[in-house]
Chain A
Amino acid sequence: MNAEVIIIGGGIQGCASAYYLAQAGVKVIVLEKDWVSRHASGVNAGGVRSLGRHIAEVPLSIASIEMWQNLSEELSADTGFRRKKLINIAADESDMQTLRARERQMHALGYYHEQILDDKELRQHLPNVAEHCVGGVLSHTDGYAIPYHTTSAYRRAAQALGAVFIEGEAVENIRKVGQDWHIQSQTSDYQARHLVNCAGAWADKIAVMIGDNVPMSYSAPMLMITTRMPHFATPVVGAVSRPLSFKQFENGTVLIGGGAKGFADREHNRTRLDYQKLAVGAQNVAEFFPIMKRASINRMWSGLEAYMPDNLPVIGFSPSSENALHAFGFSAHGFQMGPIVGKIISQLIINRKTSFDLTPFKADRFERKVL
């Protein structure tokens, strides 16, 4: 089968890229070894957060948050996005100092979307927060979405524009012959001028097939969700220096994250939970929100996610091969970036350039020049 672009990986990055390419009339095929949205993009915490981003990611994240605001209309399907504000809680004075230093840095760069809260303002937004908390920082535009709904919405919108999705198709071999990429699965051959690596926790293997070595690792961040509780928190909640993260959905269930990792077995698509770490997560939530002590945990799970040593993704052209692009290594915060990453990939293929500075995301940024 032939196309102008072949995308490997049917997560949010692959689906969004396919959508923006198809929208521009480009013929694209997405190859997905399992099913679309089976992995991180279907099971993540759904946090749509621009707050507290690494400086290098801020421009992309802000552009993405703007896209999120009317993404459901754009894709003619409910992504589940709700703009609910996001607050990172300061547990003590040292957290407040961290926040003020960050504010100076952000203002100097011309970013004003993060607003510091004092102790009283924090309680206006989160009346149930524990007494010891002293303040926080808030973003008005952030919120959450339903991961599977968002990723499938991109997929279906892309399909409606002619993109082809092939599920149960694992890429096993990649070669470049002349100008064209030859991509092989167990049963089929595909050919395309452009190749995009959106293979999530497996992207380092695809990178190697393309000719790029990347120091990517992978792990299994864990989540747990409660049964419905009386409403007590509207904004999405995080903490400045603690592994705390949760959100209460409109149906009353509370999704608890916090970055604790389980054990990943990517060869078998399997993960195992680390209950000891989940117990610590439970202690954290209960400490910040005593009301949560009464919560009933309904499900716990984890997903496979790719990490880079600096927790920044790889986005852009392959350093070694013409017409190959990477978008992976989102280090547990790539769901929010999906819309803008898809847009950038389409721009790079169609215009060969983008207005964003992608230097911090280069695939060879870890290469040591001198031994």
Chain B
Amino acid sequence: MTESLQETAQISCDILIIGAGPAGMMAAITACENGADVIVLHDKPSPGGQIYRNVDNSPLPDANILGEDYTQGGELVARFNACSARVFSSASVWHVGDNGEALFSYQGTTQRVSALEIIVANGAMERPFPIEGWHLPNVMSAGAAQVMLKSDGIVSDDAVFIGTGPLLYLIVAQYLRLGVKVKALIDTTEKANYLKATQQLPKAFAQLGMMTKGLGLLNEIRASGTPCYRFVKDIQISAAEHAKPEQASQVTFQCANETVTLQADQFFLHQGVIPNLNITRSLGLAHHWNAQQLCWQPTLDNWGASSVPYISVAGDCSAIVGAIGAQNMGKIVALNLLYRLDRLKLEKRDELATRAMQDMQQLNRFRAFIDSLYRPRDIHRMPEKSSVVVCRCEEQNLAQLEQAFGEQASGPNELKLMTRCGMGPCQGRMCGTTVSELLAKWRNTGVANVGYYHLRSPMRLLNLEELAKLETVAPRSAQ
């Protein structure tokens, strides 16, 4: 059901869901099945989230090449489309308040919605990859490559893919299945990780099928004859000398004690995903550092309830749980809210959630395996070379941050005020985690003691005129 504005001048509902990925869709389906009045705000034209993006209207002639996981999403999207939630598509939320209110851009105006309960399900983002040259034109994230493929059917020939993790291998495999030539895969996974991850094996055995998926993709890529460099380190992307405009054209790295240089016009980087914190942080929810996943995450109870009443979090923005985990969590969170809203008895909530809770526990064991196998190298999270750019928006490199640290800017916010690192249009998404980890290293303390940027609304750039159109409703008594 897609909403038109006239009918909804003063919008309110029982449960407001932000994001229509697997977590948000499943939460909406569950809540609607039990009679709750649900609104879903989603910034894309169609539901699906990162994994099932455009699954119901793919631009590709044969979407099967994207893999079984992808096409399976069609069923979930169909159930979501059939549920009774009021769905606002292309509705981008830029503020969520701890008073249960959200503001969002919709058709050139700012709209306000208030809800008894809010589920934040805005998903993950790719982990920053601060290496030499990552900020240059022609360098993009592998996720961006996948977005272009799923949304517009656009691909890049002869690109170099660099990094680690199943999503990296997935996109390379998707390219190859489409017959797109890939120049090389430069795999940064450490050899030692294979050993460490194997120690997680007994626990992960239950999910053997899923476990081998990433490795299966890697085999598929190697079998295609695409050059694969493994256990790579010391990567440096650079522009040809005197090239105007300055853009990346080669990569140099160490592989098996040899220095290799490759030329290309397109580089895709990826080293895993981390929760997208911009909503949960600007809401002021309590967060903690997850040492296994090397990321911040909101502190939640078993039902996804946060430190702020009325705010729950589900899916990859709560911790990386994957698409199936996100669906389970969406269900669990929705069941709890139905209980809080008096639409389900406690016993019924627990009964309906049992299966999803068990599945989550199994998935978590599998996560531990994935997290240790694809753990990004320290040097790829905490650069050591002074010329590496940390904040891309404000072009702050490591040397500049080190200097400010020396001038007593010892926390992320002081550092931001001193250097402008994190003040740019990405709101610190591309440098926040790096800065937390760097400061912890310099101060020789845990990341938890260092903290993160204070974030504020708007969570993304907001057009001034759009803000100006936030309509004022004066109380009748004041007129």
CA distance A93 to B75 in the complex (A): 67
Across the two chains, which residue of chain A brings its CB closest to B414? Answer: A35
* A152/B408 contact (C-beta < 8 A), A35-B414, A276-B472 known: yes
Contact partner of B464 (CB less than 8 A), chosen from A42, A152, A285, is: A285
Is B280 part of the contact surface with A, judged by Cβ < 8 Å?
no
| Most chain A Cβ neighbours within 10 Å, of B413, B417, B461 | B417
CA distance A297 to B463 in the complex (A): 6
* A300/B97 contact (C-beta < 8 A), A282-B468, A283-B468 known: no
Give every chain B residue within 8 A of A298 (Cβ-Cβ): 423-425, 427, 458, 461
CA distance A275 to B94 in the complex (A): 11
**Which of chain B's residues 458-474 have a Cβ closer than 8 Å to chain A?**
458, 461-465, 467-470, 472
Do most interface residues of chain A lie in helix, strand or loop, or is the interface mixed?
A: helix
Nearest 4 Cβ contacts at the A-B interface:
A148-B417, A279-B470, A282-B468, A295-B464
Across the two chains, which residue of chain A brings its CB closest to B94? Answer: A297
Taking a contact as CB atoms under 8 Å apart, the answer to whether A293 and B284 are in contact is no
CA distance A324 to B467 in the complex (A): 47
- Provide 17 A-B residue pairs closer than 8 Å at the C-beta atoms, listed in order of the A residue: A35-B411, A148-B417, A152-B409, A156-B407, A156-B408, A227-B424, A227-B461, A275-B103, A279-B468, A283-B468, A292-B464, A294-B464, A296-B461, A297-B462, A297-B464, A298-B425, A298-B458
Taking a contact as CB atoms under 8 Å apart, the answer to whether B465 and A149 are in contact is no
* A275/B464 contact (C-beta < 8 A), A148-B418, A149-B418, A300-B457 known: no
Distance in Å: Cβ of A365 to nearest Cβ of chain B? 33
Question: CB-defined interface of A272-286 with B at 8 Å, one 1/0 digit per residue?
Answer: 110110111011011
Give every chain B residue within 8 A of A107 (Cβ-Cβ): none
Is B95 part of the contact surface with A, judged by Cβ < 8 Å?
yes
Contact partner of A300 (CB less than 8 A), chosen from B414, B456, B472, is: B456
Across the two chains, which residue of chain A brings its CB closest to B95? Answer: A275
Give every chain B residue within 8 A of A282 (Cβ-Cβ): 464-465, 467-468
Distance in Å: Cβ of A321 to nearest Cβ of chain B? 33
CA distance A273 to B462 in the complex (A): 15
Give every chain A residue within 8 A of B462 (Cβ-Cβ): 296-297
Is B397 part of the contact surface with A, judged by Cβ < 8 Å?
no
Across the two chains, which residue of chain B brings its CB closest to A153? Answer: B407
Across the two chains, which residue of chain A brings its CB closest to B454? Answer: A301
Is A13 part of the contact surface with B, judged by Cβ < 8 Å?
no
Taking a contact as CB atoms under 8 Å apart, the answer to whether A276 and B470 are in contact is yes
Taking a contact as CB atoms under 8 Å apart, the answer to whether B461 and A275 are in contact is no
Distance in Å: Cβ of B395 to nearest Cβ of chain A? 11
CA distance A35 to B463 in the complex (A): 33
Is A226 part of the contact surface with B, judged by Cβ < 8 Å?
yes
Give every chain A residue within 8 A of B418 (Cβ-Cβ): 148-149, 152
Taking a contact as CB atoms under 8 Å apart, the answer to whether A293 and B457 are in contact is no
Q: Which residues of A contact B (CB under 8 A)?
A: 35-38, 42-43, 148-149, 152, 155-156, 226-227, 270, 272-273, 275-276, 278-280, 282-283, 285-286, 292-301
Taking a contact as CB atoms under 8 Å apart, the answer to whether B465 and A286 are in contact is yes
Taking a contact as CB atoms under 8 Å apart, the answer to whether A297 and B458 are in contact is yes
CA distance A276 to B95 in the complex (A): 13
* A299/B467 contact (C-beta < 8 A), A37-B417, A152-B418, A279-B472 known: no
Is B276 part of the contact surface with A, judged by Cβ < 8 Å?
no
Taking a contact as CB atoms under 8 Å apart, the answer to whether A275 and B470 are in contact is yes
Give every chain A residue within 8 A of B457 (Cβ-Cβ): 273, 275, 300
CA distance A298 to B95 in the complex (A): 13
CA distance A243 to B302 in the complex (A): 48
* A301/B456 contact (C-beta < 8 A), A275-B470, A283-B468 known: yes
Give every chain B residue within 8 A of A42 (Cβ-Cβ): 417
Across the two chains, which residue of chain B brings its CB closest to A293? Answer: B465
Give every chain B residue within 8 A of A297 (Cβ-Cβ): 458, 461-464, 467
Across the two chains, which residue of chain B brings its CB closest to A270? Answer: B284
Taking a contact as CB atoms under 8 Å apart, the answer to whether B464 and A226 are in contact is yes
Taking a contact as CB atoms under 8 Å apart, the answer to whether B427 and A299 are in contact is yes
Distance in Å: Cβ of B417 to nearest Cβ of chain A? 4
Taking a contact as CB atoms under 8 Å apart, the answer to whether B425 and A227 are in contact is yes
Distance in Å: Cβ of B105 to nearest Cβ of chain A? 11
Give every chain B residue within 8 A of A286 (Cβ-Cβ): 464-465, 468
CA distance A23 to B456 in the complex (A): 39
Distance in Å: Cβ of B439 to nearest Cβ of chain A? 13
Is B146 part of the contact surface with A, judged by Cβ < 8 Å?
no
* Seed contacts A35-B414, A37-B417; 5 additional CB < 8 Å A-B pairs: A282-B465, A282-B468, A286-B464, A297-B462, A301-B456
| Most chain B Cβ neighbours within 10 Å, of A270, A272, A283, A299 | A299
Is B110 part of the contact surface with A, judged by Cβ < 8 Å?
yes
Give every chain B residue within 8 A of A38 (Cβ-Cβ): 413
CA distance A227 to B458 in the complex (A): 13
Give every chain B residue within 8 A of A273 (Cβ-Cβ): 456-457
CA distance A149 to B425 in the complex (A): 21
Across the two chains, which residue of chain A brings its CB closest to B103? Answer: A275
Across the two chains, which residue of chain A brings its CB closest to B112? Answer: A275
Across the two chains, which residue of chain A brings its CB closest to B424? Answer: A298
Across the two chains, which residue of chain A brings its CB closest to B426? Answer: A298
Across the two chains, which residue of chain B brings its CB closest to A225? Answer: B423
